[in-house]
Amino acid sequence: MNMIPENILNNLFENLVTQFVKENLETIMRAEIQQFMENEQEGIRNSRNGYYKRNLHTKYGNLEDLQVPRDRNGDFQTHVFEPYQRRDGWLEEAVIQMYKSGMGTRDVARFIESMFGSHYSPTTVSNITATVLEDIENWHQRKLNKRYSVIYLDGLYVKLKRSTVSGEVIYFAMGIDDEGRRQILGFYVGGHESSNGWRDVLKDLYRRGAQEVLLGVFDGLPGLDDAFRETYPQADVQHCVVHKVRSTFPKIRVQDKTAFLDDLKTVYNALDHDLAMAAFDTLKARWGKKYPREIESWENNLPTLLTFYKYPVAIRKAIYTSNPIERMNKEIRKRLKPMNSLTNLDAVEKIVYLDVVEYNQRYADRIIPGFGVPDTKQELRSLFEERYPSSMEDES
């Protein structure tokens, strides 16, 4: 018995699916016009007037010669698709997803033409993705929650074409609200990272409603502490311990790295603040003479490196480092990597926005470990009451 080649079987199957979809859409439209005619107001002279044929691209294939019923007065409109629509929307969604994955507009246009025989010029593709810009503007202006237990700040550099190609920063702000849900609050593209840039970011977060914050977590960029405290004077600052360790690591001799870092871990892995300070005294006694600058740098920054000890034990691993926002940045960097440089600001915003929305949807209903613990929630609530008493009075 001769076997039917796989490609022929696939074509047969696709044709069967396409025909099935076509027949069902036509059945739906016949039912629609029947109901439309039955509901016509008395005294209006109207009747069915056969069919007209049209094509419709769907995710199941191209439906050719779809029979669309019509009435004599031209008042009937099916709900299967919009007037003059030639696709059911899935192709436009596919364009956006391909653009998001790093394909340029010309690559997307060529791909669609080869797959579907449908010519999309680069300009048309840009027009489709431009619809995202309206969503981006609305997203940038959306209201935020009033309270955030933690706000993380971090920047990501991308190559952006303006008059020349240069690296520009994307400022990211991520928050964990008072229920323990983590979301990206905003992203802002342009220029070189600076404390003034962050000052504008923080003012925007406050303007959009994020007015009560307990803790800001970020690296030691000069001036960022002051910018953060200007907007949130009642909040604490936690410098990322992991960043500090990374900056110290290259300055330690190879033969000392393991022992030095093991001693360093005893400082930020201690059970409480007092034990952490005692561990640092031991570190200083052992390594102070050999690495005086490194030890002095840690000592000067201990007040902001050990802030996390003021907070519940259950959430300390989540707040002593900016790793959560860095992991998110890593995901976005992978999306941007296929592009050597982005053509313009809109191109950056489109790609980042689509990733950010996907991220927020993924974490919308998740409670970050530790933040859902009843005792932790009560401790954090007490901190809010202590720092923002007028707000608590308003609630009562």
Greatest Cα pair distance, the chain, in angstroms, is 101
Question: Measured between alpha carbons, how far is 244 from 30 in angstroms, rounded to an integer?
Answer: 69
- Residue 25, judged by CB atoms within 10 A of its CB (0-12, 13-18, 19+), counts as buried
For the chain, 396 residues long, give each residue's pLDDT as a single digit of tens: 455 565 665 566 566 667 767 776 777 778 778 878 877 766 678 888 888 888 877 666 677 888 899 998 888 888 767 665 555 666 666 666 666 665 666 677 667 666 655 555 666 666 666 667 778 889 999 999 999 999 999 998 887 766 665 678 999 999 999 999 999 999 998 888 899 999 999 999 999 999 999 999 999 889 999 999 999 999 999 999 999 999 999 999 999 999 999 999 999 999 999 999 999 999 999 999 999 999 999 999 999 999 999 999 999 999 999 999 999 988 888 777 665 555 567 777 888 888 898 899 999 989 999 999 999 999 999 999 999 997 655 655
Give 325-332 contacts, CB < 8 A, sequence gap 24+: 325/152, 325/153, 325/154, 325/172, 325/174, 326/154, 328/172, 328/174, 328/184, 328/359, 329/154, 329/156, 329/172, 331/355, 331/359, 332/156, 332/170, 332/356
Domain residue spans in the chain? 6-84, 92-139, 145-387
Please choose, from the candidates 180, 203, 227, the residue with its C-alpha nearest in 3D space to the C-alpha of residue 324: 180
Q: How far is CA 281 from the centre of its chain?
A: 42
Please choose, from the candidates 120, 58, 61, 63, the residue with its C-alpha nearest in 3D space to the C-alpha of residue 95: 120
Contact 219, 152 (CB under 8 A): no
Quick one: pLDDT at residue 104?
A: 63
Q: What one-character DSSP code corresponds to residue 314? A: G
